[in-house]
A and B are shown apart, each in its own frame.
Chain A
Amino acid sequence: MRAIALLLVLLAVPASSTAQESRVPGPEITRGKGDKCVADTAYMRRFHMDVLTHQRDEVVQRGVRVEKFSLRECVACHATRGDDGKPVSINAPGEFCASCHEYAAVTIDCFQCHATKPEQGKQARLPFPMTAAASPESAQ
C-alpha cells in the first residue's frame, strides 16, 4: 500500500507541472492576423491536410468556391511582411507553414503551384464574403 501511494504521488508531480515546463522542443509557430483562425487550433492541426485535399477537389472539379478553408485566405492571413513592408513568401523558412513542417520533417509541395504571397496591391479577400468569422484585418 505504501509503495502504491508513493507511486501515485510520484506520478502526480509531473502531471501537475504545466506545459511550459515540457522539455520536448516544439515548433515556433508564427501567428496569423486577427484573433482566431477559421477553425480551432486542435482541429486545424489534425485535419488541415484532409480539409485541403477535399477542398481542392470541390473547387477545381465542381467549381464550389465558397469555403472557409480557401488556401488563398490561409495565405492572406498567415503571411507576414518583411521589414520593407513587402510580403514574405509563406513558404520561406521560419514562416507559418515551414515552422511546423520543418519540425515535423514533412515536405509540402503546395507552393510549387500556389502563390506564396497574398494578392499584390489588393486587400486579401475571397471573391465572395467568408462564411465563417473573418479576421478583422483581412477584411480591410
Chain B
Amino acid sequence: MSGFDIDRRKFLGAAAAAAGVALAPGVTLYGVGAAARSPDEPASAEVRWGMLIDVGKCASGCNACVTACAEENGLTGHGRQATDAQWIRKVSVKDPGTGAQKNVPVMCQHCAEPPCVDVCPTGASFKRADGIVLVDKHICIGCRYCMIACPYKARSFIHEDLSDQKPYAPRGKGTVESCTFCVHRVDKGETPACVEACADKGGGAMLFGDLADPDSEISRRVATYASQQIRADLGLDPGVRYRNL
C-alpha cells in the first residue's frame, strides 16, 4: 500500500469523523478505511478476506504451501491419507482432451454462502463477520455433517487424541477442522502461512487480501484479470479465486 493511499485514508477518516460530530447529537459517522484492526474490536463485516491463486505460477513439484500449513497449525499425520487431517492440498487436474496438466492448491474456500454452516446442527460451523468460515470446537459435536456438505472436501475429522498442539491453533479429538485462513495471523495483520511460504519458496502464486476493499491488491487484480471460482455453479461465492485454471 503506497504512503499516498494511507494518507488519503486517514484524511478521509478524519474528515468523516469531523463531519460526524457536526451531524447531530448522539449520531456519529465513523471514519472510513481504518488501518489494521485493533485487537479489542470484533471482526468487521466491512472486510471480506479472500485469496487469489494464479495456477499458472503453481509448480508441479512444489508443496511449500502444504508444508507451511502443517508447520504453522501443528498438523500431524499418521501416514493414513484417508483419515489424516488435511487443511490444504494440491490437486492435479488434467484436461482429457489436450493432456494439459495443472496443479491447484485447494483449501477451505471460505464461501459467502457456506453449505457447512447451513447443515451444522449445533452452529459450531459459522462464518465470522469478516468472511472467514470457522469451526467453534467448543460447540462442535463431531457429527461430520459439514464434511458431507462441503463440495471441496475441505473439512477433516480428528480421530485420535492429540498433544503438543500449537498454542494459537487449538485442535482436538472428536471435532472437525479446516483451513482457518490462519485467522490467528490475519487478526494480527499478517497473511496466512501458505501465502507467505508461496511468496518465499514457491512461485508467488497466492495472494491474500480484502475483497471488500476496492483499493486492495487482490481487488484490483480480480477486477483486471479474469478469475474463476471452483464450482461457481453451486452459487456459494467462495472467497478463493483462481487464475489460469
C-alpha gap A114/B128 in the complex (Å): 21
If the complex has contacts A115-B170, A118-B167, A127-B188, are A65 and B39 also in contact, measured as CB distance less than 8 A? yes
> For window 37-94 of chain A, which residues contact chain B by CB distance below 8 Å?
56-58, 60-66, 72, 75, 89
Pick the contact of A62 from B43, B163, B168, B171 — CB < 8 Å?
Answer: B43
For the complex, give the distance between the alpha carbons of A103 and B113 in Å: 47
| A64 contacts B168, C-beta separation under 8 Å | no
- Main SS of chain A's interface residues? loop
| Number of A-B residue pairs with CB-CB distance less than 8 Å in the complex they form | 68
What's the nearest-Cβ distance from chain A to residue B195, in Å? Answer: 18
Residue in contact with A56 in the complex, picked from B138, B171, B187, CB distance below 8 Å: B138
| Interface range for B | 20 to 34
Residue B69 lies at the interface, judged by CB distance under 8 Å to chain A: no
Distance to closest chain A CB from B48 (angstroms): 14
Distance between B87 CB and nearest chain A CB, rounded to angstroms: 16
18 A-B pairs (CB sep. < 8 Å):
A58-B42, A60-B134, A60-B138, A62-B43, A62-B128, A63-B43, A63-B187, A65-B39, A65-B187, A75-B167, A89-B163, A112-B174, A115-B164, A115-B170, A116-B163, A119-B167, A127-B39, A128-B188
Interface residues of A (CB under 8 A from B): 56-58, 60-66, 72, 75, 89, 112-119, 127-128
